[in-house]
C-alpha cells in the first residue's frame, strides 16, 4: 500500500479500499464492496466520504490490533502483555531470596499459631512468596472468569455506538455492515481495547494485594497461601508497627482466609457465582457510551483511554440487587471471621495486634482492592457494610460454642446467620433467635458435634 503521511488523507480510491480491508478484514471488505456495486453504488466514491477517520492511526495502530486473537470479548493476550508492561515499567519488584524466605517463614509460623485456634484444616499446598508478576500469573484465570460476562455486554454496546457515529458512510454501506457478527475486524479492535483496559486493572491490583484473597474476592485458584512482600512493605511504611510485625499480621490473615476458601468446598464457587449472576445483567448507559465514542472520533489512541466507569447503568435490576446483597453478606462473613480469628491469634503474640486489626478493618470497608478496580472495570461496587458486626458475631460464636462449634457453621451455607442475625448474635444462639428451620438444623449439627444421639430439647 502507498505510504500515507500523518496529515494526509488518501486520495486514491484503492487506498480507501485497502483501509476498508484493514478495518473489516479481507473477506468482509470484499463482500461489502461487491454488494455496494450490485446496489449501483460506486465503492471508491462512497469510501472517499470517510474523511473523518484518522487514517494514520487506523493503519498503524488498529491494523496491528486486528492481527491479534479476537475470539472472545477480551483479547487476554493483550491484557496480559499490558499488565506485564505496566508492572515492569512502573511497579517492578525483584524478589530476593531473603525476602522470599522471610515471607514463607511468616506463613509457616502463622499456620502454627492458627492450628489450636481454628477448626479449619490448613492448606495442603506450599507457602509461597510472589513478585507482582507472579501474583498476576496466578490471578489472571479467575479475573477472566469474573470480567468476561461484563465485557461481552460492553463490547456489543461499543460496536453499536461506533457504527452509529460513522455518519459519513452512505446508507447503502450501513445496510451492508449489518450487526456485529459481520464485523470481525471491528470486534477484534474492541476486544483489544478491552484487553488494554483490563490489563491496566490487573496491574493496579498487583500493587495492592498482599496474597491470594485479600482483594475482597478469591482470585487465586488452588490450595495455597502466599504473600507479595513488596506490597506488604509498601503498606507497612508510615505505620507505627515494625515491618516484621505487619508481615506476621498479614501472614495470619492470609493463612486464615486461604484455609477458609480452600477447605470450605461450597464457599469459593458461591462467591464467584454471585459475581457472575450480577455481571450477566450489567446494563450499559448507551448515551454515555455514544458520547465517549463521539469524542474519540474513532481515534485508536483515544479509544485506548476509554473510561469504562462512565458507561455502567447506575440502576441495578431487582435480581442484581439480590445477587449483590447476597455477595456482600457472604464477603462480610468471610472478612468478619478472618478478622476475629486473626485478632484472637495475634493478640497473644504481637504488641500492635489491635491497632493493625483496626487498620485492616478500615481497609476492607472503604478502600479494598475490589472496590478500586472492579467498580470502574465491571460496574461491580462491592461494599460489605457489616464487617464489624460479622466480626462480633464470630467472637460471640467462639464464646458460646468454642472453635469447633464456631467453625462448624461453615459446613453448610444454611447454618450461617442472616443479615438480621448478624445484628443480634446473642439472639441467633438462643433457641428463639433463629428461624425454626435454622434452629432445628443448628441443634442437629451441635448434637452430632457433641456425640449425642438426639438434639437438645427445651426441657433439657
In the chain, the number of structural domains is 3
Indicate if 362 and 436 belong to the same structural domain.
no
Handedness of CA 179, 182, 185, 191 (dihedral sign): positive
pLDDT at 271 over 80: yes
**For residues 238 and 301, which has the higher predicted lDDT (pLDDT)?**
238
- DSSP SS3 for 170: coil
Average pLDDT over residues 225-254: 94
Give a yes or no: residue 280 inside a domain.
Answer: yes
Mean pLDDT highest for which of 87-91, 308-312, 378-382? 87-91
Q: Which residue has the cell 490448613?
A: 122
| pLDDT tens track for 322-374 | 888 888 899 889 999 999 999 999 999 999 999 999 888 888 777 677 677 77
pLDDT at 100: 95
- Position 360 scores a pLDDT of 87
| 363 and 426, same domain (yes or no) | no
pLDDT for the residue numbered 11: 44
Q: Are residues 313 and 374 in the same domain?
A: yes
pLDDT at 52 over 50: no
Does residue 277 share a domain with residue 133?
Answer: yes
Residue appearing with cell numbers 468454642: 402
Q: Which domain holds residue 55?
A: 13-60
CA distances to 135, 333, 403, 415 from 433, in Å: 43, 18, 21, 13
Residues 47 and 174 placed together within one structural domain of the fold: no
CA 17 to chain CA mean position, Å:
41
- Are both 273 and 369 inside the same structural domain? yes
pLDDT value at 446 more than 50: yes
C-alpha cell, 409: 457453621
Give the model's confidence band at 282: pLDDT under 50 very low, under 70 low, under 90 confident, else very high. confident
In a domain, 178, yes or no: yes
Q: What pLDDT does 35 receive? A: 57
Between 184 and 2, name the one with better pLDDT: 184
Rounded to whole angstroms, how far apart are CA atoms 230 and 208?
Answer: 9
What's the mean pLDDT in 271-296? Answer: 81
pLDDT grade, residue 49 (50/70/90)?
very low
* Domain-located, residue 67: no
DSSP for residue 283: P
Whether residue 298 sits in one domain with residue 445: no
209 and 98 in a common domain: yes
What confidence tens digit (pLDDT) does each residue in 55-65 have?
A: 344 334 444 44
Is residue 374 located within the same domain as residue 409? no
Averaged pLDDT, 241-254: 96
- 168 in the same domain as 121: yes
Per-position DSSP letters for 340-390, written without gaps between them: HHHHHHHTTT-TTHHHHHHHHHHHHHH--HHHHHHHHHHS-------HHHH
Assess whether 188 and 319 both reside in one domain: yes
The pLDDT-based confidence of 457 (bands split at 50, 70, 90) is very low
Q: Is the pLDDT of residue 254 over 80?
A: yes
Domain co-membership, 247 together with 365: yes
Amino acid at each position: 500500500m502507498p505510504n500515507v503521511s500523518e496529515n494526509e488523507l488518501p486520495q486514491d480510491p484503492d487506498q480507501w479500499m485497502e483501509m476498508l480491508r484493514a478495518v473489516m478484514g479481507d473477506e468482509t471488505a470484499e463482500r461489502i464492496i461487491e454488494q455496494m456495486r450490485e446496489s449501483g453504488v460506486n465503492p471508491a466514491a462512497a469510501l472517499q466520504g470517510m474523511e473523518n477517520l484518522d487514517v494514520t492511526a487506523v493503519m498503524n495502530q488498529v491494523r496491528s490490533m486486528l492481527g491479534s486473537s479476537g475470539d472472545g470479548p477480551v483479547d487476554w493476550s493483550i491484557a496480559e502483555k499490558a499488565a506485564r508492561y505496566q508492572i515492569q515499567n512502573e511497579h517492578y519488584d525483584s524478589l530476593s531470596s531473603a525476602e522470599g524466605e522471610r515471607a514463607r517463614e511468616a506463613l509457616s509460623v502463622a499456620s502454627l499459631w492458627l492450628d489450636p485456634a481454628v477448626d479449619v484444616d490448613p492448606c495442603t499446598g506450599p507457602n509461597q512468596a510472589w513478585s507482582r508478576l507472579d501474583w498476576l500469573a496466578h490471578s489472571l484465570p479467575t479475573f477472566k472468569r469474573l470480567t468476561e460476562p461484563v465485557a461481552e455486554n460492553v463490547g456489543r454496546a461499543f460496536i453499536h455506538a461506533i457504527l452509529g457515529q460513522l455518519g459519513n458512510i452512505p446508507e447503502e454501506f450501513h445496510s451492508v455492515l449489518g450487526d456485529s457478527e459481520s464485523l470481525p475486524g471491528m470486534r477484534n479492535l474492541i476486544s483489544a481495547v478491552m484487553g488494554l483496559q483490563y490489563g491496566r486493572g490487573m496491574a493496579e491490583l498487583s500493587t495492592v494485594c498482599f496474597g491470594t484473597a485479600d482483594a475482597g474476592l478469591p482470585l487465586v485458584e488452588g490450595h495455597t497461601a502466599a504473600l507479595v512482600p513488596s506490597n506488604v512493605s509498601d503498606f507497612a511504611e508510615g505505620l507505627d508497627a515494625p515491618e516484621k510485625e505487619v508481615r506476621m499480621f498479614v501472614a495470619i490473615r492470609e493463612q486464615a482466609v486461604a484455609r477458609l476458601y480452600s477447605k470450605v468446598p461450597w464457599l469459593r464457587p458461591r462467591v464467584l457465582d454471585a459475581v457472575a449472576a450480577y455481571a450477566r445483567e450489567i446494563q450499559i448507559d448507551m448515551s454515555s457510551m455514544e458520547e465517549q465514542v463521539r469524542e474519540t472520533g474513532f481515534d485508536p489512541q483515544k479509544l485506548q483511554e476509554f473510561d469504562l466507569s462512565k458507561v455502567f447503568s447506575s440502576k441495578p435490576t431487582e435480581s442484581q440487587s439480590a445477587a449483590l446483597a447476597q455477595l456482600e453478606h457472604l464477603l462480610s462473613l468471610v472478612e468478619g471471621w478472618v478478622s476475629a480469628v486473626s485478632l484472637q491469634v495475634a493478640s497473644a503474640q504481637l504488641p500492635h495486634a489491635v491497632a493493625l486489626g483496626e487498620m485492616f478493618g478500615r481497609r476492607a470497608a472503604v478502600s479494598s482492592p475490589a472496590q478500586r478496580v472492579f467498580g470502574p472495570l465491571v460496574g461491580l461496587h462491592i461494599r460489605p457494610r457489616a464487617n464489624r458486626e460479622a466480626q462480633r458475631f464470630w467472637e460471640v460464636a467462639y464464646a458460646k460454642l468454642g472453635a469447633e462449634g464456631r467453625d462448624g457453621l461453615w459446613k453448610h451455607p444454611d447454618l450461617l446467620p442472616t443479615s438480621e442475625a448478624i445484628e443480634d448474635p446473642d439472639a441467633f444462639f438462643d433457641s428463639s433467635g433463629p428461624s425454626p428451620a435454622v434452629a432445628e438444623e443448628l441443634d442437629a449439627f451441635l448434637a452430632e458435634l457433641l456425640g449425642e444421639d438426639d438434639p437438645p430439647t427445651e426441657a433439657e
